Structure 1
Amino acid sequence: MALAANDAADRVEQLIILTERLTEVVANQCRCFEAHRPQDAAALMEEAGRLANLYRHESMRVRADPGLVMAAPFELRQQLIRATEAFDAVLARHGRAVTAAKFVTEGLVRAIAEEVASQRDQLSSYGPGARAPASASGATAITLNKRA
């Protein structure tokens, strides 16, 4: 999918709208991560992906042919630059939020695995010829609730 612009000014206006909407969606995802509600951010993934794909496509088109926007009024091009700078700032914030959520998730999984391992270690038999039960193998299955 591509933007259908009549001229350079129309293309820049559409790029501004696209960039501002993408910035808004990514900022909403950031708020979800910062509120420790990544499941709420997941609800925005489809729109974010669609907008990001269109943004990537249009950015590549403009990079390959700057003439697509150069004839637009200077003020519009400046507004697009400001929208792009705001988007870059939100992307940096999003990166920090996702990294923090990743560390929390990894810590939870590690804590669960350690607890399972400690419980498994307690399953040993007693006595001089004691052996670990046949069911105590090195692998343990863990099931996680999608809502957790």
Structure 2
Amino acid sequence: MTTRSAADAAADLNATGHLRQLTTLTERLTGRLIEESRAFEARRPQDVAGGMAETRELANLYRRESAQVKAHPELFAGGGLGERKALIRATEAFEAVLARHVLAVEAARVISEGLVKAIAEEVASVRGSPSAYGSSGQASASDARAVAMNRTA
């Protein structure tokens, strides 16, 4: 019978804590993305603006923690099977929600760009053709208002 050292027990406890912490982080980020996806799908992107800082913070933390797992897998080696399975389930849910979120954001971007383009085209058609130079070499008087359209959202 092998006895475990106090250091091994502490490492296992630490690994379990890390796994639980990463699972909780993954679940929180997944929840934020679900809320944002619903807002985009309901064509209410303005509802996302208030929580963007939190989502960005969670995403950055998730990225750092994921890099930590990849760089030091031994830190998580002693964690319990239940905690590992919970993290796997949370990660699978996160990936599914992330795929949905990407589609919702892309749809919102396309709609927004379409609206901006339609408005710019309408303004351009109301203005008429650009001014030309007259026989005296001076530019003809024209509407001085300007509209800029950027193709990125």
Query: TM-score normalised by the shorter chain: which range applies?
Result: 0.7 to 0.9
Change (3 A) 1:105 1:132: farther
Shift of 1:141: 2.9
- State the distance in 2 between where 1:53 and 1:111 align: 36
DSSP 3-state at the match of 1:45: helix
Does residue 1:111 correspond to 2:118, yes or no?
A: yes
CA RMSD of aligned residues (A): 2.3
Counterpart of 2:146?
140
Equivalent AA in structure 1 for residue 110 of structure 2: F
Which residue of the other structure, out of 38, 42, 65, is the alignment partner of 1:35? 42
Counterpart of 2:17?
10
Does residue 1:100 correspond to 2:124, yes or no?
A: no
DSSP 3-state at the match of 2:48: helix
- State the distance in 1 between where 2:43 and 2:140 align: 41
Shift of 1:46: 0.8
Taking structure 2 as the reference length, what is the TM-score of the superposition?
0.78
- State the distance in 1 between where 2:106 and 2:141 align: 40
Q: In the TM superposition, what are the counterparts of 1:59-98 in structure 2 within 5 Å?
A: 59-98=66-105
User: Would you say the 8 A contact 1:123–1:133 is kept in 2?
Assistant: no
Equivalent AA in structure 2 for residue 141 of structure 1: V
Shift of 1:79: 0.9
Alignment gaps of 5+ in structure 2: 1-12, 132-137, 149-153
- State the distance in 1 between where 2:30 and 2:128 align: 50
User: Would you say the 8 A contact 2:120–2:147 is kept in 1?
Assistant: no
Alignment gaps of 5+ in structure 1: 1-5, 125-130, 143-148
Shift of 1:78: 1.1
Which residue of the other structure, out of 57, 65, 80, is the alignment partner of 1:58? 65
Shift of 1:135: 2.7
Taking structure 1 as the reference length, what is the TM-score of the superposition?
0.81
- State the distance in 2 between where 1:60 and 1:123 align: 55
- State the distance in 1 between where 2:76 and 2:87 align: 10
Counterpart of 2:9?
none
- State the distance in 1 between where 2:111 and 2:50 align: 20
Paired residues, number = 131
Equivalent AA in structure 1 for residue 70 of structure 2: R
Equivalent AA in structure 1 for residue 54 of structure 2: E
Q: Which runs of 4+ in 1 moved over 4 A?
A: none
> Identity, % of aligned pairs?
52
Shift of 1:122: 6.8
Equivalent AA in structure 2 for residue 140 of structure 1: A
